[in-house]
Amino acid sequence: MARRKPAPEPDRYEPCERCGEAYLTAAWWQDTPICCYCYNQAKRVVGQCVECAHSGIVPGRTPTGQYLCRTCSGIQLNVDCVECGAEAELYRRGHCWRCELAHQVDELLTNPHTGVVNPQLAGLAAALKQMPRANSGVTWLRNPTVRAVLQQIAAADTVDQRLLAALPVNRSSVHIRALLDEHGIDGARVDFRTRFTAWADSKLATLTNPDNQLVIRSYIRWHVSRRFDDKCTNGTFLAAKQGVTVAIDFLNFLDMLQISVTDVDQSQVDTFVASGTETNRLLSRFLPWVVATYRLPPLTIAPHQRGTTRALTETMQVEQLTRLFANDALTPRDRLAAALIVVFGQPTHKVAALRWDQINREETCTITLGKHPIVLESPLDRLVAEVAEATTNRQTAAHSESVWVFPGYQPGNHLNESHLRRRLKALGFPSLTTRLGTWQTITQTSPPPVLADALGIHTQTAINHALRGSSQFGAYVAARNGQREQ
């Protein structure tokens, strides 16, 4: 996270010509004061000089704000790398960030016994050196945990499953293994089942009564682990963690009441669910297993009532559409993700997993969300182009050529749907209420079966939306059902 800028100090410093704020003056350019922040920013601006057409670092500005190179502006600024000769911001000792990154990659990935980089790591080395933001790579390689994992891999004669299994289980090693899998070493990605096992072993320490460890271990072994698919996904991993966490919280709650799990009754279940957050309802994953295993009387949790979420009104939908393109806080990626929900009623998990092969931009821009492509009119077509040109999550070695419209932080994965849902909610686009409002509106103008085919949902689900929205087609379906009952 970037450091927050301190407050300006107009009593101490002159206002900067570029930003107008009173910060420490770093230089006088073109007879005007430049603050330290604008000075550092100018060293990174690459463009074309409006006077001589030179392409490179352009620290100067014309009175109208157009770019000027060092020569045409008369600005003296050292941005010439002593190694590669490129015009770029320098890191240290006259070397640019790109050259520094290459040196650090070679240093970390060189086998200390042979003095060369293992050919198996050539793909990883090239991807790290070529990441668009070299300074991000240098910063990442400063992390002691990252360095330790890379050095452990580099020191091995062969990168195989035995080596990968010996790596520590932490966020850095998980990310590095995903990079290896992305760049030439098949099967290097962490198996989420292995990661879950390591997590569960540490989570057991949070039980306040050690006697309950046997309960949780049995629950994990005979219920949770058996539900993992052959290819356990991140979603399965997160769901398993959530279920076990709530189970442990429940056992700690019983321990606080000095009640054994074999003596629990409905009143304790109701109190636990009512006294916590909505997450406590996930006790429904643990409770049936406890009842069956310990032969307890039936214990239940009142199910969440479906259909109680209120959809956005038509007025609120219009406000959302206006905000979608007028709010400067939204990035192109935010706008496109929100548009897919506001305009097409797409669920968040489908938005997050959208692939570029579902979008055709050759002549008319189309998107395929169901059985048939849909034409994207302006401004949605321009929005797709902006996202295609954006660099969000594409500045590192994780997503050099991603198939995902919304690439995530883990190499090879799309954006996490929970993260996207929280992001859109914070920006004023709660996914569920927005989607319900969209469907209840569009089913008033088009037959639900047609919309279901085009937008990729089940026909009955589309009809249910129409019924809730009291559309003409919904009324027709209700009448038909009434005739059949007679």
Domain final position from 71, 90, 109: 90
Q: What is the Cα–Cα distance from 180 to 418, expressed in whole angstroms?
A: 26
Residues 330 and 401 in one domain: yes
Residue 431 lies in a domain: yes
Residue 247 lies in a domain: yes
448 against 12, higher pLDDT? 12
Q: What is the Cα–Cα distance from 161 to 120, expressed in whole angstroms?
A: 13
Residues 121 and 78 in one domain: no
Q: In this model, does residue 472 exceed pLDDT 70?
A: no
68 against 188, higher pLDDT? 68
Residues 210 and 227 in one domain: yes
Q: What is the Cα–Cα distance from 457 to 151, expressed in whole angstroms?
A: 48
Task: Give how many domains the chain has, as a whole number.
Answer: 4
Residue 459 lies in a domain: no
Q: What is the Cα–Cα distance from 145 to 147, expressed in whole angstroms?
A: 5
Burial class (CB in 10 A: 0-12, 13-18, 19+), 254: buried
* Model pLDDT for residues 132-179, shown as the tens digit of each residue: 889 989 999 999 999 999 999 999 999 998 998 888 878 888 889 989
Residues 387 and 282 in one domain: no
Within 13 A of 125's CA, how many CA atoms are on the CB side?
20
* Model pLDDT for residues 215-236, shown as the tens digit of each residue: 999 999 888 887 776 556 767 8
Residue 379 lies in a domain: yes
Residue 231 lies in a domain: yes
Query: Residue 484's pLDDT is what?
Result: 44
Residues 335 and 290 in one domain: no
* Model pLDDT for residues 260-270, shown as the tens digit of each residue: 999 999 999 99
* Model pLDDT for residues 326-339, shown as the tens digit of each residue: 777 788 888 898 88
Spatial CB neighbours of 148, under 8 Å, sequence gap ≥ 6: 168
Domain final position from 294, 323, 346: 294
Residues 112 and 80 in one domain: no
Mean pLDDT value across the chain = 83
* Model pLDDT for residues 35-62, shown as the tens digit of each residue: 999 999 999 999 999 999 999 999 999 9
Domain final position from 138, 164, 188: 188
Domain that includes residue 146, residue range: 95-188
Residues 347 and 428 in one domain: yes
Residues 198 and 158 in one domain: no
Query: Residue 443's pLDDT is what?
Result: 66
Residues 119 and 223 in one domain: no
Residues 330 and 438 in one domain: yes
* Residue 62 DSSP class: -
SS (HEC) of 42-60 = HCCCEEECCCCCCEEECCE
Q: Binning pLDDT at 50, 70 and 90, where does residue 314 land?
A: low
Spatial CB neighbours of 54, under 8 Å, sequence gap ≥ 6: 48, 69, 71, 72
Looking at residue 128, its amino acid is L
Residues 118 and 141 in one domain: yes
Residue 307 lies in a domain: no
Residue carrying structure tokens 């320098």: 90
Q: 105-114, 128-137, 362-371 — which is least confidently predicted?
A: 362-371
Residues 342 and 437 in one domain: yes
Residue 452 lies in a domain: no
Residue 1 lies in a domain: no
Query: Residue 477's pLDDT is what?
Result: 40
Closest by CA to 286, choosing from 258, 250, 236, 262, is 250
* Model pLDDT for residues 72-109, shown as the tens digit of each residue: 999 999 999 999 999 999 999 999 999 999 999 999 99
